[in-house]
Amino acid sequence: MRINKKITAVIAVFLLCLASFIPIFAIDAYVTVIYRKVDIAFINKSDSELNSVLSESNTDKNYYLVENYTMKKIRRLIIDQDYDFAMKADLIVIDNNLDNVEAVELYSTISAALEKQKEQERLVEEQRQAQLARFNEEKERQKVVLEKKYNVVETPAGDVVYVKNKEEKFSANWWKTTFGIFDGNLIVDAGHGFNSFRYGISADFVYEHTFDKMVFGIDAGGQVIFLPFSGDDSTMLGTFEVIPKLGLGKYFQVRTGVSGVMRFNSGDETNLQQTVVSPIVGVGLAHVNLGKITMNMNADYLFGHFAYSGLNFAMNSALNFAIPIAEMEKFKVSFNLGAKDTLFLRSSGVENRTGLILAIGVENVVK
């Protein structure tokens, strides 16, 4: 009998313990389901899903467990610097429980961190944009350089390909001859108050041979000024030059040779400078590309003026722009607009002979 009482007591104690554990297990199972829904909302970063879960549970007596779990998830987002969704989730917690002081304080922390993050992102973006601008600027600069140096070919796919260096030469020899179809000259003798405008013709020839690091060449030419439109003093004027030259660098040239400034039919009717034939020394710029136009210029000092009485200084200068008209396989034709000037400083005053020249030029194609 006593044994039966003991067995009955043990069974009673076991049943009481089992009855106390069942609610705990039931609570754990219920809360676990809600936890899972919270996890899914955070994985999807969906504030609407999270609000739905919390709003459905905020009247439950175990809501504090769900709320604590959500706050842990929010703090994890802060550690991962995902401030955007952390702020949204924290606002949802506050909306569902305005008495949650921890959530309110956490909102200020998240807000400050988010502002700092946005400022850092703005600075990074500004730096990226500045680097991109520098890259694009350098890219455009290189594109301009390439277009100047290389011929541009567009493929059927629309891609641009740079081929064949424009500076590449297939021949070391280059020549050009020009014939001036119009050579209008203004003659001014300031010392004697004399002015005259005259028509003439001219011709020039240039030859250059290119070595590895320099260019050797020769300029030769002449003009005859024979038809006066005004200020006829019964003279005919002309010039000639034979000038070897040496090119140093891409454009610069030094020149030395002989040049003559002629006066024919001398008489008592003229006070113009008599014929001057002189060695010269000068400098020039050649093959300067201005888009499709090629510019050449030179200035020469006629130091033989010392041999002529009353002549204190003498100088020749020239400027020419060549505009291409047609290009064939071996020859190129151009229209040339040029100017030549001869300056004399005489004891009697300044004498200047300025010519405007329109000419046709032919040259060989070497590149």
Q: Count other Cβ atoms within 10 Å, centred on residue 40.
A: 13
Q: Give the per-residue pLDDT at 269.
A: 82
Q: Give the per-residue pLDDT at 19.
A: 40
Q: Give the per-residue pLDDT at 162.
A: 55
Tokens 């439109």: give the residue: 229
Q: Give the per-residue pLDDT at 182.
A: 94
Q: Give the per-residue pLDDT at 23.
A: 44
| CA–CA dist 321, 295 (Å, integer) | 5
For residue 100, the SS3 value is: coil
Q: Give the per-residue pLDDT at 367.
A: 60
Give 295's strand partners. 288, 321
Residue 243 φ then ψ, to 5°: -135, 105
C-alpha separations of 179 from 183, 208, 300, 330, 360 in Å: 10, 19, 22, 19, 6
Residue 170 φ then ψ, to 5°: -95, -10
**What is the value of pTM for the model shown?**
0.56
Query: What is residue 304's DSSP assignment?
Result: G
One digit per residue, the tens of pLDDT, for the chain of length 367 reads 555 555 565 454 454 444 444 344 445 677 888 899 899 989 998 889 988 888 888 888 888 888 889 899 999 988 888 888 988 999 999 889 888 888 888 888 888 888 888 888 888 888 889 888 888 888 788 777 666 666 666 666 666 565 555 555 445 899 999 999 999 999 999 999 999 999 999 999 999 998 878 899 999 999 999 999 999 998 999 999 999 999 988 899 999 999 999 998 866 788 999 999 999 999 999 999 998 999 999 999 999 999 999 999 999 999 999 999 998 888 999 999 999 999 999 999 999 999 999 999 999 987 6
- β-pairing, 252-264 with 311-327? unpaired
Q: Give the per-residue pLDDT at 194.
A: 94
For residue 7, the SS3 value is: helix
Task: With beta carbons less than 8 A apart as the criterion, state whether 172 and 210 touch.
Answer: yes
